[in-house]
Amino acid sequence: MDGDGAFSTAFQLIVSGDPTLMQIVSLSLRVTLTALIIACLIGLPLGAALAMARFPGRGAAVVLFNALMGLPPVVAGLVVYLMLSRAGPLGFLALLFTPTAMIIAQSVLITPIIVSLTRSVIEDLWAEYEDQLRSLGSSAMRAIPTLLWDGRFSLVTVILAGLGRAMAEVGAVLIVGGNIAGHTRTMTTAIALETARGDLALALGLGIILLTLTLILNAGAFVSGRVAQQQAA
């Protein structure tokens, strides 16, 4: 297999504006970014609350979320599959093998990452800010939005970790999405399929496009973070 073939395949795919490719790319982005938004809406406040709350079993909760960061995508996919399958508790929703199911599976996968890393960032900030914020009359609850905003530059990295995980994984979306052409096929499932079929140039071409997209998203986050940081320190 030659790399030139892969690069020229990737290049031709992009330049030709192949509608199948565009559909796959846009579905991948839609699933991943929606899952990321859901994971952030849940994970950022939950992680901050976990950083500041003191309750029996807190240590166990921290360990659990840390462990779930290593949740294998296929296991996350399997759990969501069992919930959504015809016989499962949520089977009546008929969501299996839809993009919505893929979003749910990826949300399950990356929420623990956002929770755990946010807890770590906010714990450090709270140690620095606690006396001052309490002195101003802030309750722990009131402090959560303050700390999330003040930790925003570190939290961008947290969110990128979640994004990277969702962009890269194949197991979860494959199980609950089914890799149906034109419906639930994403970049990663397409790469897996093309590799199995032996069209390595196409698989590698898709891989190059996926890497490039990831690079662009990260660069965008990095640059906007830098600009904001220069303005607010």
Partner 1 sequence: MTMHGTLSILPLKVSELRFAARGTELIKGISFSLGAGTRTVIMGPNGAGKSLTLRLCHGLLKPSGGIVGWAGPDASGAVKRHAMVFQRPVMLRRTARANLIHALSVAGVPRTDRKARADAALDYFGLTDLAERPARLLSGGEQQRLAIARAWALKPQVLFLDEPTSALDPAATKAIEEMIETIHADGVKIVMTTHDLGQARRLADDVLFLHNGRLLEQSPAETFFAEPKTEEARAFIRGELLW
Residues at the interface with partner 1 (CB under 8 A): 128-129, 131-138, 142, 146, 149-150, 152-153, 231-233
CB of 162 to partner 1, least distance (A): 22
Q: Name the residue nearer to partner 1 (CB basis): 142 or 197.
A: 142
Judged by beta carbon, residue 23 or residue 157, the one nearer partner 1 is 157
| Residue 60 C-beta: closest distance to partner 1, Å | 25
Alpha-carbon span 218 to 204, nearest angstrom: 21
| CB-based contact 103:34 (threshold 8 Å) | yes
The torsion angle over the Cα atoms of residues 142, 110, 125 and 134, rounded to 10 degrees, is 20
Q: How far is the CB of 116 from partner 1 (least distance, A)?
A: 23
Shortest distance, CB of residue 230 to partner 1, whole angstroms? 9
Question: Smallest distance, Å, CB 232 to partner 1?
Answer: 5
CB of 129 to partner 1, least distance (A): 5
Residues 6+ apart with CB under 8 A from 176: 77, 80, 81, 84, 96, 97, 101, 102, 104, 105
By beta-carbon proximity to partner 1, the closer residue of 127 and 215 is 127
Residue found by looking up tokens 């199948």 in the block: 20
Closer residue to partner 1, CB minimum distance, 7 or 153: 153
DSSP-derived secondary structure for 43-77: HHHHHHHHHH---TTHHHHHHHHHHHTT--HHHHH
Nearest by Cα to 3 from 216, 212, 203, 211? 203
Q: What span, in angstroms and rounded, lies between the C-alpha atoms of 53 and 50?
A: 5
Describe the crossing of helices 200-232 and 3-16 by its angle, rounded to 10 degrees: 70
Nearer to partner 1, 134 or 197 (CB): 134
Q: Which is nearer to partner 1, 124 or 150 (CB)?
A: 150
Q: How far is the CB of 158 from partner 1 (least distance, A)?
A: 16
**Residue closer to partner 1 (CB basis): 197 or 226:** 226
3-state secondary structure 95-154: CCCCHHHHHHHHHHHHHHHHHHHHHHHHHHHHHHHHHHHHHCCCCHHHHHHHHHHHCHHH
